[in-house]
Structure 1
């Protein structure tokens, strides 16, 4: 095997490993937030990362952790809820990445499960020494406003 071919294989393998790590990170959000694992949820973000949701803007890991610990979020957990994050489309650019996907918040109401919210998600991630982490996650409810599907079109931004 030539040095050039070996280098090309190593590059391809690194790309696949990066994409797999990013997908695992994104997939871990739902189970962590639904189990109330506040510190683990916050650790998905960089120390200066932010989470921009329609209803709230969380700046930094402490704010993200506090949201999971909040009385409102704890009521969702106690009542029965599932944050389901669909498979992301990942675009890598060196040590930075963008991922877009859908998410659903499903809640237990009156003996049945109901979709409370369907959301467009845009994730910005950066490779840190310890692995990939979220720098910015932007969510917008898919309620007909143009900015929500526009987030899904920004797979390479």
Structure 2
């Protein structure tokens, strides 16, 4: 093999590894956002928020965009603002309480550009509330990533509503109050 061939193979492997790391990073973010939280040993939302923040760079942006999400989510710049965003979501007592939501990612596209990357997904998530109401929510994600010394991190989460659809009351009958999936 020539030096050029070896260099080309190394670049291809680096791109494949970056895509895999970014895929796991995005999936971990969604996993940590699920309710009930499936991360074993994380009993409170303050810990969950800190685990989510570990996935972000210090200068990251989290934003809802478009006619439906601009007003609902707004824009948070930097980890302190992103922390406040999640504290508003999980830190305040919600009535009715959110009993379940689960994130399903589809239509993945990851584009690696050296030490930066962007990715697009569509996600869907059912939401079940304590008053029996339910809805199905779908969003497009257009996220950005950067390779830091300790691995890939999220530099931007951008979400745009695709649809919100009410589901019949109490459409789901069997769901966990806590997750034991990762229990040793």
**Fold agreement, TM-score > 0.5:** yes
Identify which of structures 1 and 2 has the higher relative contact order when contacts are C-alpha pairs closer than 8 Å and 6+ apart: 2
Residue aligning to 2:27:
27
How many Å apart are 1:88 and its aligned residue? Answer: 2.4
Give the structure with the larger helix fraction: 1
Name structure 2 gaps, 5 residues minimum.
38-44, 164-184
Residue aligning to 1:65:
83
Q: Deviations over 1:37-80 (max 9, x none)?
A: 1011112211010111122222221222233333x436488522
State yes or no: 1:6 paired with 2:3: no
Distance 2:156 2:148 in 1: 14
**Aligned residue-pair number:** 141
Q: Normalization by structure 1: what TM-score?
A: 0.77
SS at match of 2:103: strand
Residue aligning to 1:43:
54
Structure ID, larger Rg = 2
Q: Normalization by structure 2: what TM-score?
A: 0.67
**Segments of 4+ moved more than 4 angstroms:** 74-78, 109-113
User: Alpha carbon RMSD of aligned pairs, Å?
Assistant: 2.3
Residue aligning to 1:101:
121
